[in-house]
Amino acid sequence: MMKNIFFVCVLFAINLNLQSQNYYWVFFKDKSQTHFNPYEYFDSKAIERRIQLGVSLYDSTDFPLNEHYVQKVSKLSKEIIGETRWFNAIAVEATQEQIIAIENFTFVKEISPISSEMAMCSNDSNNPDYYQKEQKELVHAQLKRMGGEHFSAAGIDGKGIRIAVFDGGFPDVDTHIAFKHLRDNNLIVKTWNFPLKKEDVYGWNSHGTMTLSCIAGIDGTQKFGLATAAEFLLARTEIGIEPAKEEVWWMQAMEWADKNGANIISSSLGYGDARYNPSDMNGQKSLVSRAANMAASKGILVCNSMGNEGDKESWKTIVTPADADSVLAVGGIDPMDDNHTYFSSYGPTADGRLKPNVCAYATNCKVAKPGKSNASFDVASGTSFSCPLVAGFAACVWQKHPELTAMELKTAIEKSADFYPYYDYAYGYGVPQAAYFMFPKISVVLKTFEIEVDDTYIIVKPFDVQKGDKIFYHVEQTNGTLSTYENIEFTYASNDTLKIFKSSLNNKGVLRIYYKGYVEKFTLNDKDIQAIEDEKMNKKTWTFVPNGFVSDRRGFKSPSTYGVNAIHYVHPYVSWGFIIPTTFTSSFNIGKSQSFNVGVRYKGNIRKWYSMGVSIDYSNSNIHFKCPVNWVFKKDKISIHSLNLEFYQRFRLFPTEGLGFGCYVDLGVFGTWDFANRRIRMYEIPEYNTEVVQTTKLDNALGWGFRGRFGYGIISIYAQTYSGFFREFEIGVQLIVPIGQ
């Protein structure tokens, strides 16, 4: 009976997995027999943007889908989830048999599976006590770091610019005091809840309320977002547990924002290791990246957070759609020391393009906090907040310079950043500066260091070094990528020099150095390059005087192939289960029988949803017998020590945030060696009024069995059936000990 239950569970798990892989994009070959009137479809702001920027009102990507095609596919699908005009496709839920039938339609171009999860780019670490103590300084810092006071002094507040914000909900935005000015002036133009297909977005995840407040929030007379007079489109696209549909909703929100006249999109969302590999972050793999580029071609500036993967060794890099070429990707820095925030993702893209483009504060940012009082504020951390800060900045720039196209605006914001023309993969070009747009006169930047060269080194001699000063440098290769970059902080006032091996500039590399606002470029001449080749110095790349510097090179490490969502992963685990023997005679009554396991497991990813692996564990099992009253034996127990070797395959039903294991089913076969086995009996000798314990050594034994697990995150329920000492069925709980990300 127990065996039958076990195999029913296995079949159910397999069926669950098959059902989880049933979302698809169905792309059509054409849009024949469709009709389109842009003046009926588009908001007047969208038409105004297209005319101003020279974008056609009759672009075929805006035409509706062929309704006949949609209806034909709909009849063979379980559900139509959504559609995209831009890419001439519909998203469907369908079985494998239905998809095969849909593929046979002559109007179907291709079918692509959807299996993804959107992640919010926040790493919240709210601290109300710290906020109460430091609120004025924090708000002042998050806007002042961008020179926001220059916009405010000139009355520039994003007026006339329409910003679409994508998030998981906007609770209390319709009542919170931070947004009263938006409600009073009717600046929330439209809202749409894509998961529920209705206008109400004022609930669910508070993340959206916090990100919106970094664009337009006001606390009394104090602004903590720069675009307080902008217009807003609020789209709920995220529910947090949906493994596939959120990509569809994000796509739909993009087209909805375009249709309703958005100038800027602020998205603190992204797809990362739950679906993709680091090599996929090339701006072309994901449909959302291609959609972001499409939006830019239609005159929209798309701002997207880099992600919070910087401290994940198996990822570290950017999330999509921030990898799109036309997206203004925003990284995070810490207001305490202006250093790259440890959790903010690093660039470049998989194909070597610069990301992030710029950065802003992402730690201890002031945000509106939903709650009963509707007047609460807090601090929060995450690249989720650096992105809307820059989106509000961009709205002010566009108000000041309405003649700019979206791509011209993106470039101008990059040039305004305080490191430009220096850049690296942690800071991009640095933090955008309002003064660049408000005071366009060319200013003279004083030289802050000298460069000397000897036979081995390029020697950088900074002037007036004070404790805490930072010097940045990178080496750019001829293909535009960086072979190295470094942020070095002086630990005390000194006259130390930075020494860089000349060999690091071999193959015509370009050295750029940034120090206190001054940037200088250096290259080797042909004679030096030839000398390096002759002397075979290529193994030497960089160095510095260690007594005077503290170096930060965290971001230059490539993502590791080891980690929860990487190719390889190893972790320990512990288990506790109950043994249910089934082969004893009726004279044996089984008591409380348990098993304790400790082991280590290897998992190798073949696909994001499928992996294979091996585990080895030690177990101690104790089977107790209830002895009848008339028996001489009062206690009877078999103790079994085992080594188990399992080979298994894992089917991930859907990914989750957090530790990254997701919801999964494991199916495996294992062998067991029972050793050091003992039977322990205790009986009484009445005439001596004593108890005697008898221990009998049992033979070693080999066995095998089947094992299945159903898990969510680090906890799973397991069941196994196997041969051996009286042991036939076991069920219990297993806890994973996560190591590394």
Of the residues 113, 144, 172, the one at which a domain ends: 113
CATH of the domain at 92: 3.30.70
- The answer to whether residue 11 sits within a structural domain is no
Q: Is the domain of 274 the same as that of 408?
A: yes
CATH of the domain at 649: 2.40.160
Provide the β-strand partners of residue 664.
652, 711
Backbone dihedral region for residue 193 (phi beyond 0: left; psi -120 to 50: alpha; all else: beta): beta
Where is pLDDT greater, at 511 or 557? 511
- The answer to whether residue 318 sits within a structural domain is yes
Q: Is the domain of 677 the same as that of 528?
A: no
CA 301, CA 203: separation in Å to the nearest integer? 27
Q: Is the domain of 50 the same as that of 82?
A: yes
Tell me the pLDDT band of 543, cut-offs 50, 70 and 90. Answer: low
CATH of the domain at 169: 3.40.50.200
Q: Is the domain of 432 the same as that of 466?
A: no
Provide the β-strand partners of residue 520.
513
- The answer to whether residue 444 sits within a structural domain is no
| Predicted confidence (pLDDT) at residue 10 exceeds the cutoff of 60 | no
What is the per-residue pLDDT for 21?
54
Cβ neighbours of 158 (radius 10 Å)? 30
Q: Which helix (H) or strand (E) holds 89?
A: strand 89-93
CA 595, CA 640: separation in Å to the nearest integer? 9
- The answer to whether residue 480 sits within a structural domain is yes
Enclosing domain of residue 219: 119-438
Helix axes 406-416, 287-297, angle to 10 degrees: 100
- DSSP structure string for 677-711: EEEEEEEEEGGGTEEEEEEEE---EEEEEEEEEEE
Q: With H, G, I as helix, E, B as strand and everything else as coil, classify residue 494.
A: coil
What is the per-residue pLDDT for 554?
65
- The answer to whether residue 600 sits within a structural domain is yes
- The answer to whether residue 705 sits within a structural domain is yes
Q: Is the domain of 590 the same as that of 497?
A: no
Rounded to an integer, what is the distance from CA 671 to the centroid of its chain? 38
| Predicted confidence (pLDDT) at residue 91 exceeds the cutoff of 90 | yes
- The answer to whether residue 3 sits within a structural domain is no
Q: Is the domain of 301 the same as that of 382?
A: yes
**Which residue type occupies 299?**
G
Q: Is the domain of 408 the same as that of 323?
A: yes
What is the per-residue pLDDT for 583?
53
Span 484-497, pLDDT tens digits? 898 888 877 767 78
Compute the mean pLDDT over every residue in the chain, rounded to the nearest whole number: 86
Backbone dihedral region for residue 681 (phi beyond 0: left; psi -120 to 50: alpha; all else: beta): beta
What is the per-residue pLDDT for 579?
84
Q: Is the domain of 311 the same as that of 416?
A: yes
Of the residues 92, 113, 134, the one at which a domain ends: 113
**Which residue type occupies 658?**
G
Of the residues 438, 457, 490, the one at which a domain ends: 438
* Tokens linked to 243: 């493994």
Residues 246/413, Cβ–Cβ less than 8 Å? no
| Predicted confidence (pLDDT) at residue 719 exceeds the cutoff of 80 | yes
Q: Is the domain of 271 the same as that of 378?
A: yes
Q: Is the domain of 82 the same as that of 147?
A: no
Q: Is the domain of 430 the same as that of 480?
A: no
CATH of the domain at 545: 2.60.40
- The answer to whether residue 16 sits within a structural domain is no
Domain count, the chain: 4
Of 260-264, 568-572, 629-633, 664-668, where does mean pLDDT reach its minimum? 629-633
In angstroms, what is the C-alpha Rg of the chain? 31
Instruction: Say what percent of the chain tops pLDDT 70.
Output: 85
Q: Is the domain of 144 the same as that of 200?
A: yes
- DSSP structure string for 112-123: EE-----EE---
